Structure 1
Amino acid sequence: MRPPSYRRIADELAAAIRTGAIPAGARLPTHRDLARERRIALATATRVYAELAAMGLVTGEPGRGTFVRHRSGYDGPEPSRALPVPRVADLSFNQPLAPDQGDRLRTALRTLSTSGEVESLLRQHPPGGRSGDRAVVAAYLIGRGIDVAPANVLLTGGTQQALDVTLRALTRPGDVLAVDALSYPGIRLLAAAQGLDLAPVPVTAAGPDLAALDRLCRTRPVRAIYTIPTVHNPLGWVLDRERRAGLVAVARAADCVIIEDGTYAFLEAAPPPPLQALAPERTCYVAGLSKNVATGLRFGFAVVPDRHVQAVTRSLRAAAWSVPALVTALATGWITDGTVEELERARREDAAARQGIARDALAGMDVVAHPASYIVWLGLEPHQRPDHVAAVLAEEGILVSTSDAFATGPHRPRALRLALGTPPLDGLASALHRLRRTVEAIPP
């Protein structure tokens, strides 16, 4: 069967872009001009450009037109991390480590090697973890304002797996998942893999637009709401009590599940109560030890309401059965002896110091950030496209993330996300000053 006209034209333009016949940065004809040139309807021309945008080949800028994206590999949800020049700074991914964490690991491994239960580390743990290990995490979560029985805590191989198994258990392909218009990139990957329909909710400076969320839930069958209420990634907000209560009210009225991501919540020293505490009957809380301890320690957890425990446990069994016993022993040991709490305090101090450096280095630029987080959202000038800026910075040895990675809907803001947690503290200021000089030197 002959493909529809929009598909034929989109494929033709895509081939020209990929071969370089239409170069990066080129402005494409307006929708009306394309319709006239190709003798197609305006709606068909619009669909052509939508198809090219979905392929990651073009970007539309309101009031300026449609441009061919720089395909250097330094923008989008899965950018290349191989730079064309020696690396100056990786501002694309947070991997904070304390100076003594290697020594801590050696000590912990020596302790495990001499423990009486060392052979138990070679045995298979049950899905969701052993009851004693779950009890350790349940006790730790009291410090986050979550008071649940160990049976409601399921151990996972990191926060991403906690999200994965929870979504698989509680949704079906085609279900609508409400999510902030700018959010953690991993939720897009999971939604695509599981066939979920992402419904972006407009964001404000203080959090998601709750009126828009309410309208969405009244007009569409929203199955679940994914949200990051405490130290949002990438915008850094901490929802106040009133907004948390409002979000819970919307979810209850629509009978939605709430999936609360607490990955960066430890960075807020005195947060409002988590959504799980406000709506325990419908909230699944997911987090882990990647940002507060180490990214290589793939240990996470899902706090699940009674009615969903069996379904999420089955999903976890199908995905990976259980967390490796050695990882569980390390994680629960560090929770029990106070190492995690100590590292979280150190992380808060480190993140606040890095934000102070960023405020000084980027003063006067369009910056949005939590005062004690590892993330900066940097707005660009009207003439600067994120993909082009990322490519220019890559030539300077600086890796960044573009707004494309965080956008859950068609609107891609003109912005970059800077991750402050990986560069050495004593080199962060010079890296940010170099970034600033490079960005400001990009001409219209």
Structure 2
Amino acid sequence: MRPPAYKAIVDEYATAIRSGTLPAGTRLPTHRALARERRIALATATRVYAELAAAGLVVGEQGRGTFVKVRSGYDGIEPSRDLPVPRVADLSFNQPLAPGQGDQLRQALRALAASGDAEALLRQQPPGGHRHDRAAVARYLLDRGVDTAPENVLLTGGAQQALDCVLRALTRPGDVLAVDALSYPGIKLLAGAHGLDLAPVPVTPAGPDLDALDRLCRTRPVRAVYTIPTVHNPLGWVLDRAQRERLAGIATEHGCMLIEDGTYAFLAAPAPAAAPVPAPLHAHAPERTCYVAGLSKNVATGLRFGFAVVPGRHVRAATTSLRAAAWGSPGLVTALATGWLADGTVARLEDQRRADAAARQRIARTTLAGLDLTGHPTSYTLWLTLEPHQRPAHAAALLAAAGILVSTSDAFSTGPHTPAALRLALATPPLPALAPALTLLRRTLDSIAP
């Protein structure tokens, strides 16, 4: 079968970019200009640029056009972590640890070793975990406003596996998955692996544009909506009750599922705070909401323990997908995690994390005062919008040369246009090292000439 005619245009541009004939930073024709020039439909021109963007060769910038991408090696969804100089700070990945966690682990392992049936930890668990372990997670989730039976909880090897399990159960290749135009990079990787059609929903400072989502659902067969309503990654918003009710209503009206990512939800103020977080989406539409989260950010990234709360009619499919992929959480990890859930260790760590995140936000906002910053006051992430003359890949390369790793906006962009921005992860550097690292970051960005 002959490839579509537009593929020849894609190949022509790709060859010119890779050979250097079109150097990095070159502004390409507008979509309309390309359509006129090549005598193709506007939609076809858009598809040409979409394929070049998917190949990592170009980047579309809102209001500016499409440019040949600067290939710094320190940008994108999987940047290099090898720096040319000694590392000053890793602001690309959140890996929070609290003092004394190593001792907590030793004590927990000694307790497990002394327990009645240590050999049970070496036996294969059923896919999704034993009922008593699922019940421990269900009890923990009650404090988050998720009221579910243990039978609807599946234990996984981290939140990413929980998300993968849910997508396998709910979707088929070619299905439309609605997602915020800026969102968690892992959803892009999974959508690509499962052959899903990502449909970006425009974002506002307060959350997704729900009118746009409603229009999308009226014009396309959206199978599911992936959303992060509480402490969004990377923008930090917390949707209010009215937004959550509207989102649940849109899903109900159009018959699509909701995938609620609660990974960072623990960072928002719990009840009985002065302004407690509204109930999760699961509370508004439990019959069509899958809730996924884990213990990587509130306990430790190396503790690969996650969970998915799945409506009854999808439990069997989700269990089958989990069995096919990796079965679930290992017995030893499950015993550690559920033990810490039961004895209050997780709750204490979450309190520490909220206080730590608030302190880091204060340091960041003081050190970077005057820059265009977006983030939740107790979040571990900060979105830094760059000046018009500053390009994310170039900025990331300069920062890498100064010993600082960051994430560029294209890692989070799900649509054709990528804002010029960096995502700063604040959790990993030791607290005393954060202000000096951010001072160096600011000085490096200021050195970029207009």
Which bin holds the TM-score, normalised by the shorter protein?
over 0.9
Q: Distance in 1 between matches of 2:407 and 2:193?
A: 22
TM-score under structure 1 length normalisation: 0.95
3-state DSSP of counterpart to 2:335: helix
- In structure 2, relative to structure 1, the CA distance for the partners of 1:237 and 1:63 (3 Å cut) is closer
AA matched with 2:297: K
Q: Does 1:166 align with 2:166?
A: yes
3-state DSSP of counterpart to 1:79: coil
**Equivalent residue number for residue 415 of structure 2:** 409
**Equivalent residue number for residue 213 of structure 1:** 213
Question: How many Å apart are 1:15 and its aligned residue?
Answer: 2.8
- In structure 2, relative to structure 1, the CA distance for the partners of 1:86 and 1:23 (3 Å cut) is farther
AA matched with 2:443: R
TM-score under structure 2 length normalisation: 0.94
Q: Does 1:355 align with 2:368?
A: no
Q: Does 1:225 align with 2:231?
A: no
- In structure 2, relative to structure 1, the CA distance for the partners of 1:205 and 1:194 (3 Å cut) is same
- In structure 2, relative to structure 1, the CA distance for the partners of 1:365 and 1:29 (3 Å cut) is same
Q: Distance in 1 between matches of 2:328 and 2:106?
A: 24
Question: How many Å apart are 1:416 and its aligned residue?
Answer: 0.8
Report Cα offsets for 1:249-285 as digits up to 9, x if no partner.
1111111111110000000013110111111111111
- What is the correspondence of 1:23-102 to structure 2 with a 5 Å cutoff? 23-28=23-28, 41=40, 43=42, 48-62=48-62, 64-102=64-102
Q: Distance in 1 between matches of 2:311 and 2:45?
A: 48
CA contact (8 A) 1:14 1:57 kept: yes
Question: How many Å apart are 1:233 and its aligned residue?
Answer: 0.4
Q: Distance in 2 between matches of 1:391 and 1:59?
A: 16
Q: Does 1:271 align with 2:277?
A: yes
Question: How many Å apart are 1:340 and its aligned residue?
Answer: 0.4
**Equivalent residue number for residue 317 of structure 1:** 323
Report Cα offsets for 1:118-146 as digits up to 9, x if no partner.
01011010011001111111111111111
Q: Distance in 2 between matches of 1:45 and 1:310?
A: 43
3-state DSSP of counterpart to 1:281: helix
**Equivalent residue number for residue 435 of structure 2:** 429
**Equivalent residue number for residue 327 of structure 1:** 333
Q: Distance in 1 between matches of 2:45 and 2:145?
A: 52
Q: Does 1:241 align with 2:231?
A: no
Q: Distance in 1 between matches of 2:41 and 2:135?
A: 61
Report Cα offsets for 1:198-229 as digits up to 9, x if no partner.
11111111111111111111111111111100
CA contact (8 A) 1:69 1:388 kept: no
CA contact (8 A) 2:62 2:419 kept: no
Q: Distance in 1 between matches of 2:60 and 2:216?
A: 25
**Equivalent residue number for residue 157 of structure 2:** 157
- In structure 2, relative to structure 1, the CA distance for the partners of 1:129 and 1:394 (3 Å cut) is same
Give 5+ residue unaligned stretches, structure 2.
270-275
Number of paired residues?
443
Question: How many Å apart are 1:50 and its aligned residue?
Answer: 3.8
3-state DSSP of counterpart to 1:84: coil
3-state DSSP of counterpart to 2:448: coil
CA contact (8 A) 2:154 2:319 kept: yes
3-state DSSP of counterpart to 2:177: strand
- In structure 2, relative to structure 1, the CA distance for the partners of 1:322 and 1:10 (3 Å cut) is closer
**Equivalent residue number for residue 110 of structure 2:** 110
Question: How many Å apart are 1:49 and its aligned residue?
Answer: 3.8
Question: How many Å apart are 1:65 and its aligned residue?
Answer: 4.3
AA matched with 1:352: A
Question: How many Å apart are 1:387 and its aligned residue?
Answer: 1.4
Q: Does 1:384 align with 2:395?
A: no
RMSD: 1.9
14-23 vs 347-356, greater mean Cα deviation: 14-23
Q: Distance in 1 between matches of 2:291 and 2:31?
A: 44
AA matched with 1:279: A
AA matched with 1:364: G
Identity %: 74
52-61 vs 251-260, greater mean Cα deviation: 52-61
- In structure 2, relative to structure 1, the CA distance for the partners of 1:108 and 1:214 (3 Å cut) is same
3-state DSSP of counterpart to 2:286: coil
Specify which of 365, 373, 378 is matched with residue 371 of structure 2.
365
3-state DSSP of counterpart to 1:138: helix
Report Cα offsets for 1:335-365 as digits up to 9, x if no partner.
1111100100000000000000011011110
**Equivalent residue number for residue 272 of structure 2:** none
Q: Distance in 2 between matches of 1:420 and 1:52?
A: 32
3-state DSSP of counterpart to 2:223: strand
Q: Does 1:18 align with 2:18?
A: yes
